[in-house]
Structure 1
Amino acid sequence: MDCLVNIFGRLGLESLVLDVPFVCKSWYRATLNPECWWHLDFSKVKRHDSLSYDDFTSRLTSTYQIVGNFPVTAFMKSVVKRSGRSATYIALFDYFTEEALLYVADECPALRTLVLPSNVLQGPQFKIQNHMSKWTNLQSLKLKRCFDMEELLTQISIHCKSFVALAIETANIGKDEASAIVNFLPNIKVLDLRYASMEKENLMTILQGCKQLELFDARDCTGFTEGDEEILKHASHIRSFKHEGSFKHEGSMGSMLFYFPYHSADGFRW
């Protein structure tokens, strides 16, 4: 049984829900162990009316004979409950509700990595920082947008003492945001700001202030030029500094920065 649990804990959510439990009784009993459910990736689960309704959700709908919209929040709750409050990794689904986030905050105290999709945080009233006190073990956080980075980093610095990795794509890194990264995340090791709007002086603030950085992804940013010798000099202490594709747009409107959001397929790697 211990061997089965060890193996099943390495499988994806689709296999755990739709394949393994139906093989035999002993395999089903093994999936009842919370240790099988420490890594929960809901990113492939879609609503029935989603344009990207995929095979995983289709199989769920067919297997459990669900009519109408797939109840993604109810499904997420049932799976998280199986983890017995031991889940350490959760990637939520598109358009998740605050109800879902509150449930994760209450039922996942051991969480170390949280990944939130792009189609969330549609307004400043939806604040992830309000829940940081529940995740004292959090080490890494990936967002696609953030409305109040200073407040978020303040809460992380207060409650998440082991925090070392932050990814915010298509972010707007101004003077205040750069200073907040330096002041509130002094031990940050991984920083992913790909596709950000970030002027050179703010990038330099981060490079000079975050001395423990091991990976810094600043590719495809607007506000500084790829290959800038001064930037590379100050980034020499970073084991992996990525800056390809970054540029400062100079056009008829002077030095105004133009911000182009992209979707990254790379994921959060370090």
Structure 2
Amino acid sequence: MEEGDSLLTLRRWDDLNSDILRKIFGSFDYISDATSAIAQVRCSAVCIAWRSILCDPQLWDVLDLSWLKSNFIKIHQEPYVYVDSRSDETLSRVLKVSLSLSRGNITTLVLNPELYISDDQLTFTAERCPNLKRLVMPTGDRIKKTGICQAIRNWQELESLTVPGIMYPPYLMEVISNHCSNFRELKIMGRFDVRFASTLVGTYLPNLKVMSLRCSQLVREALITILDGLPQLEVLNIAHCVLLIEPPRRNQPLQIVEELDEVILEKASRLERFITCTQIDRCIMCQRARNDGGIMKWYKYEEGLWKQDEVNTLAL
């Protein structure tokens, strides 16, 4: 080596400045088909120092697994879906490491509608993030009554819930009413009928303040039921809904309400916000909802479209 040349200083991964690393880990965005949570899980395996930094509570307020989907096929027997074992193992591994790193600091959990979580995985999650305030649930085909009820009992601070349709029977609303005194926001993505509306206004969630049914199949009588029976309701979003005159009948065309009548408008006038779509004929989302009969097939459209909502606190 000639005089004047400098030696290249080699540094180890765990010698990097911890504040810089913390900022990097906290600014992860979506990476191909993975979420920031998955990227953090992978980084935690690099060295002990990185894993220690990744235990910072500020990095784990939100566990966003909205881009993690199951590899599955539909079957004719319970639970009516078969999930590939490798897909299940990936979910279990991500949950195990994420929940270990988070140390109970997760307050928001977001799961993809096409993520088929099992009872054991849900219970494992609930036990390790007891301070959860917002939950975005996946399709519930593999989740039994005991699993979801046990999970909700652990989430006594729950304030907001998003479910992809009324796949969860009335007992879900009952257990929320009994154990989640701060619950105030509900989003239903799918079919909303009179039976489910009656469940909400009966003895379960009379104090609900914010509700979104956007892009759902909504029966007119069910809409009137919640407008009459939820006196604390402040915000209701029915944008892009397929509003039906009566419940759908097998092999019969849907009887769609083309324009909101005076009865509905009068009842909704007490709300702080009543959100509807004013350009139904030109609105792409309204046309998609009608084409799908109000049961949106989100997989056909842009990735992440299901996350949108006109109510800011429910958008992702």
TM-score by length of 2: 0.64
Structure 1 residue 216, shift from structure 2 partner = 1.3
SS at match of 1:145: coil
Q: How many residues align?
A: 239
1:204 aligns with 2:228: no
Deviations 1:149-183 (A, max 9, x none): 42111111110000011112112322x32222123
> CA shift at 1:197, angstroms?
3.6
For residue 240 of structure 1, what is the aligned residue in structure 2? Answer: 273
Residue of structure 2 in register with 1:45 after alignment: 68
Out of 91, 109, 115, the residue aligned to residue 136 of structure 2 is: 115
User: 1:3 offset after TM fit, Å?
Assistant: 9.3
Question: Partner residue of 2:295?
Answer: 261
Match of 2:205 among 170, 185, 203: 185
Cα distance in 2 for residues equivalent to 1:98 and 1:123 = 5
| SS of residue matched to 1:71 | helix
Whether 1:89 and 2:103 are equivalent positions in the alignment is no
Change (3 A) 1:131 1:172: same
Query: Aligned runs of 1:75-224 on 2, under 5 Å?
Result: 75-93=94-112, 94-118=115-139, 120-121=140-141, 128-174=148-194, 176-183=195-202, 184-219=204-239, 220-224=241-245
**In structure 2, C-alpha distance between the alignment counterparts of 1:166 and 1:90, rounded to whole Å:** 15
Quick check: 1:173–1:196 contact (8 Å CA) kept in 2?
no
2:92 maps to amino acid: T
1:86–1:110 Cα contact (<8 Å) kept: yes
1:229 to 262, 265, 278: 262
Unaligned runs of 5+ in 2: 1-17, 29-35, 74-85, 246-256, 281-291, 299-304
1:14-51 residue CA offsets vs partner (Å, 9 max, x unmatched): 553456997x997664322233212101121245x579
Residue 33 (structure 1) aligns with: 56
1:7 Cα deviation from its structure 2 partner: 8.1
Q: Percent identity?
A: 28
| TM norm structure 1 | 0.73
Counterpart-to-counterpart distance in 2, 1:162 and 1:123: 24
CA gap of 1:124–1:75, structure 2 versus 1, over 3 A, is closer
1:199–1:146 CA distance, 2 compared to 1 (3 A): closer
User: Structure 1 residues 2 and 164 mapped into 2: Cα distance closer, same or farther (>3 Å)?
Assistant: farther
CA distance in 2, matches of 1:173, 1:221: 12
Q: 2:185·2:210 contact (CA, 8 Å) conserved in 1?
A: yes
Moved over 6 A (4+): 1-4, 19-22, 24-27
CA spacing shift, 1:223–1:40, aligned 2, 3 Å: same
